[in-house]
Every structure is written in structure tokens, then in C-alpha cells.
Structure 1
Amino acid sequence: MTNWRAVVVGFVVTTVIGIVGLAIPGLGQLTAGLVGGFVAGYMARGGLASGFWHGLLAGALGGLIGGLLIWVAVSLLGLALGPVGGAVGTAAGAGIFVVAVVVALVMALESAIAGAVGAALST
């Protein structure tokens, strides 16, 4: 069973460290994903598979939400250009969302591995 509290806390940690990582060179997004996944796995407990799953969800959630927001923004921008622009904007936004989902899942693997480590250390 998924512990959504652990996933949301891991996501928030990833987001906060990611924002700080933009301002502080060297911290970066890699650290954000690792720490957020570790926190999600540690909170979820339940073994390696559970930590892996919770870290994966925490890491992927940010990319999915970001991709969705970009899709909406591009679609609205296209809609401001008229009916044809709306159709083009929606299609372009959907393409951007698909790419964002793939990138989010690939980048979530680091969070998943850190989540497994966190769960292993929590027991």
C-alpha cells in the first residue's frame, strides 16, 4: 500500500532543495532527487521494494506536475492566438507533456534508488 504522506513529504523536500539548488551552485537537482527519495523511502519503511516505490513516486510527481503546468501554459498561449493557434498550442503542449513525463520517470530512478536506501536504513 502506498504511503501518500511519505510521497508528498519526499516531493516537497525535492521541490524545496531543487529551488535552493538553482540558486546555490553545486547543490543541483541531483541532490534534490536523492534527498527527496531518501526521505520518502525512510518515512514509508517496509523494505527495499517499498522504499524504491515511494522514492519513485516522490521523484516523478514533480516532473508530472511540471509537465502538466507547461502543457496548460502553452495551450493557453496558443488559445490567445485564435482557434488555429489554440489547436497548435494544445498539440505542442501535449508533445511537451509527453516528453516531460518520460524525463520525469527517468530522473525519478535516482529518487527510487535513494528511497530503497532510506527504507533499508529505517528498519
Structure 2
Amino acid sequence: MTNWRAVLIGFLITAVLGIVGLTLPGVGQLAAGLIGGFVAGYVAGGGFLRGFWHGLLAGALGGLLGGLLIALFVAVAGWAAGPAGGVMGGLAGLGIFTVAMLVAFVMALESALAGAVGGLFNPRRPRRREPDYY
């Protein structure tokens, strides 16, 4: 079962470090994905596969949000240039969105690998809450 709290924590760390990482293009986003995925895997616990899954989800959400924001920014910038700029900006935004989705895919994979390592560092299985019958 997916621990959405772990995914959300990993996603937020990825997003915040990704924004801060804009000062170091490429390296900043790489580090953000690795750290966010590791944290998601560690918080979820449960070993390699569970950490991999939670890191993958956190990285995919972070990558999709980043790609969407970049494409939206380019589309709005083109729209401000008038009708011809809107068409060109829309096409450029679509191309950039496609590239950003490829980057998101790579970011999800690297985050998943880091999540697997995080899951190995925290091998405990999450305990199920026992129902209160009394």
C-alpha cells in the first residue's frame, strides 16, 4: 500500500530543492531528485522495492509539476507577444513540455533509485494500525 505521506514529503523536498537548484542548472535538479527520492523511500520504509516505488512516485510528481510550469511560462510569454507570438509560443511550449516530460521521466527514475537506497536504510515494515474493538 502506498504511503502518500512519504510521497508528499519527498515531492515537497524535490520541489523546494529544485527551485533552489535553479542556481546550479542541471546539478541542482539532479540533487533535488536524488534527495527527495531518498527521503520518500526512507520515510516509507520497508526495504528496496517499497522505497523504489515511493521514490518513483515522488520524483514523477516533482518532474511533472516542473515540466508543466516551464511549458506554461513559455506559453504565457508567447501569448503576450500577440496572436502570432501566441501561436509560436504555444508550439514552443508544446515542444518544451515534451522535453520536460522526458526530463521528468529521467528524474523519476533517478528518484526511484535513490528511494530504493532510502528504503534499504530503513528496512522496518510499517505497522498496520490495529482496530479498536473494545
TM-score, normalised to structure 2, is 0.75
Q: CA deviation at 1:38?
A: 1.2
- What fraction of aligned residue pairs are identical, expressed as a percent? 66
**2:132 corresponding residue in structure 1:** none
Over residues 39-74 of structure 1, what are the superposed CA-to-partner deviations in whole Å (9 max), with x where a residue is unaligned?
101112233222112111212322211111111111
Range with greater deviation from structure 2 (34-43 or 8-17): 8-17
Within 1, Cα distance between the matches of 2:60 and 2:107? 7
1:67 pairs with 2:67: yes
Within 1, Cα distance between the matches of 2:63 and 2:38? 17
Query: Structure 2: 5+ residue runs without aligned partners?
Result: 125-134
**1:95 corresponding residue in structure 2:** 95
| Count of residues paired in the alignment | 121
Q: CA deviation at 1:112?
A: 0.8
Q: CA deviation at 1:22?
A: 5.5
Within 2, Cα distance between the matches of 1:69 and 1:23? 17
1:55 pairs with 2:55: yes
Q: CA deviation at 1:80?
A: 1.8
Question: C-alpha root-mean-square deviation of aligned residues, in Å?
Answer: 2.3
Over residues 74-116 of structure 1, what are the superposed CA-to-partner deviations in whole Å (9 max), with x where a residue is unaligned?
1112222222321221121011011011112113222111111
Query: Structure 1: 5+ residue runs without aligned partners?
Result: none
The higher radius of gyration belongs to 2
